[in-house]
Structure formats: structure tokens, C-alpha cells
């Protein structure tokens, strides 16, 4: 097994950013399915996919497991980063839940003011 990291091309970085909802631009249907497979595969199957598609594998692993992965993919893609926005109010103030809602929208205050 090679320990050399593949170079991630700008379009691959943009496709993976789009998959994770962090900017970029969408891939075609087949490529999006490939990214989804790599993202959801168990370790053995992920290793097989990484052997066949090293650039996409490296980009997905970077996005999922590296603390600076999203920022690195933004740099590699050459695209300007887009802030995370709430799905409900479109605000950019966090923290955000797994459902992409800001804290205020995730736990709205009742109209009578009593929580």
C-alpha cells in the first residue's frame, strides 16, 4: 500500500465540498454516487474505493476526519468559502445542529415566553 497522498484536483475538491454542503459545486449523478459510497462505506470497502479513486477518497477523508479539511478543500478548489447558514432562517450565527438549524431555530421559544 502506498503512503503517498494523491493530489486533489480543484474540481474534485469542489464536488466533495458540495456533497458535504460546504460550498463547491455539484458533481454529476455518477460521481455524486461515488462520493456517497466512499462517505458511507465500511473500512474494507472504503479501502477498495480509495484504491480505484484515490483523489475522491483523499478528499472525502479530508472533509470527514481532518480538523482543517474543509478549509483545505476550499483552498484546493480555488473557490471562495461560503458560510454555514441555518436551513430555516438563513442566518449565519451558530452553533448549528446536525439538522443544519441554528440554536435559536432548533429550540424556538414558545409564544407565551415560557419554555
**Comparing 104 with 32, which gets the higher pLDDT?**
32
Please give the share of the chain, as a percent, with pLDDT higher than 90.
Answer: 56
Query: Domain ranges in the chain?
Result: 1-80, 83-115
Q: If pLDDT is split at 50, 70 and 90, which confidence band does 78 have?
A: confident
Helix (H) or strand (E) holding 54: helix 54-65
Q: Which three cell numbers stand for residue 69?
A: 479539511
Q: If pLDDT is split at 50, 70 and 90, which confidence band does 1 have?
A: very low
The answer to whether 63 and 13 have CB atoms below 8 angstroms apart is no
d(CA 83, CA 57): 24
Q: What is the pTM of this model?
A: 0.69
Residue 54 CA, chain-centre distance (Å), reads 17
State which of 45-59, 76-90, 96-110 shows the largest mean pLDDT. 45-59
d(CA 94, CA 52): 38
Amino acid at each position: 500500500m502506498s503512503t503517498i497522498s494523491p493530489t486533489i484536483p480543484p474540481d474534485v475538491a469542489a464536488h466533495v465540498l458540495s456533497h458535504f454542503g460546504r460550498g463547491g459545486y455539484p458533481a454529476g449523478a455518477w460521481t455524486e454516487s461515488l462520493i456517497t459510497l466512499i462517505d458511507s462505506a465500511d473500512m474494507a470497502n472504503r479501502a477498495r474505493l480509495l484504491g480505484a479513486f484515490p483523489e475522491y477518497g483523499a478528499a472525502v477523508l479530508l472533509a470527514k476526519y481532518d480538523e482543517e479539511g474543509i478549509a483545505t478543500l476550499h483552498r484546493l478548489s480555488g473557490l471562495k468559502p461560503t458560510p454555514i447558514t441555518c436551513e430555516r432562517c438563513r442566518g449565519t450565527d451558530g452553533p448549528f445542529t446536525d439538522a443544519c438549524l441554528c440554536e435559536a431555530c432548533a429550540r424556538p421559544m414558545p409564544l407565551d415566553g415560557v419554555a
